[in-house]
Amino acid sequence: MVCEPQNPELERFNIEEIGMSEKKSILCFGDSLTWGWIPVVEGAPTYRYPYEKRWTGQMASHLGDGFHIIEEGLSARTTSADDPNDPRLNGSEYLPTALASHLPLDLVIVMLGANDTKPFFNRTPYDIAYGMSKLVGQIATSAGGIGTPYPAPKALVVAPPPLTPMQHPYFQGMFGGGHEKSAELGQQYRDMADFMKCAFLNAGDFVTTDGCDGIHFTEQNNADLGKAIAEKVKTIL
């Protein structure tokens, strides 16, 4: 078998210089809280906060120029549950593709779980944390991607803050019992992260869900959370 000669373009560079960026790359994987959903009383439709107002953009502003932030937020996304109305929403089905697509990465921040509290998923807070553990495992085993020598990135699990009372009756039904479940996610995620030896932050320690729909963030929530996560990132990278 004859192999093709090495690409002459690659020969001009040191392989380590090619593989590693000067900036730290962070993938933010989440749901509507990461996408930037602007809360409205009627629930939907709505628009998206501009990048600099989303928590991801706020985090970037606190971290500075040495970081490259990649957003992968999808409204209604779950950790690992199949939504009966939309096959795109299972986070564990898409995360491996996102990881391979965006390598090399230094850190993956995952904030999911609020949508898993919907009653038709029949998930306990422990079940939701178990779904999150699947995502952590996918991050830990993502080295190489497709045809690369890149290592697996580190993981930071973020527990979303508890849901608050919802004005729209359709949302009330959609998230029935969600406040009680979401209030337990911080401890369940903390225990899971300790078990899997990954970093953890409880968003509820820094923000409440102040949006008028009881689910989503205000501009101030985004600003406060972005700052808190930036400080946590500085302890990891």
pLDDT of residue 14: 57
Structure-model confidence comparison of residues 19 and 67, the more confident one: 67
Q: Please report which confidence band the pLDDT of residue 18 belongs to, taking 50, 70 and 90 as the band edges.
A: low
**Predicted TM-score of the model (pTM):** 0.92
Question: What gap in Å lies between CA 99 and CA 114, rounded to an integer?
Answer: 22
pLDDT of residue 2: 47
Average pLDDT over residues 156-178: 96
Q: Which of 10-24, 88-102, 145-159 has the lowest mean pLDDT?
A: 10-24
pLDDT of residue 164: 97
Sheet holding 24-30, edge to edge: 67-73, 24-30, 107-111, 154-159, 199-202
The string of DSSP codes covering 54-74 is: SHHHHHHHHH-TTEEEEEEE-
Question: Which tens digits make up the pLDDT trace of 20-35?
Answer: 568 999 999 999 999 9
Convert 137-162 to b/e letters by CB count within 10 Å (16 or more is b).
ebbbebeebeeeebebbbbbbbbbbb
CATH code for residues 21-236 = 3.40.50.1110
> Coil, helix or strand for 128?
helix
pLDDT of residue 22: 84
Phi, psi values for residue 131, rounded to 5°? -60, -40
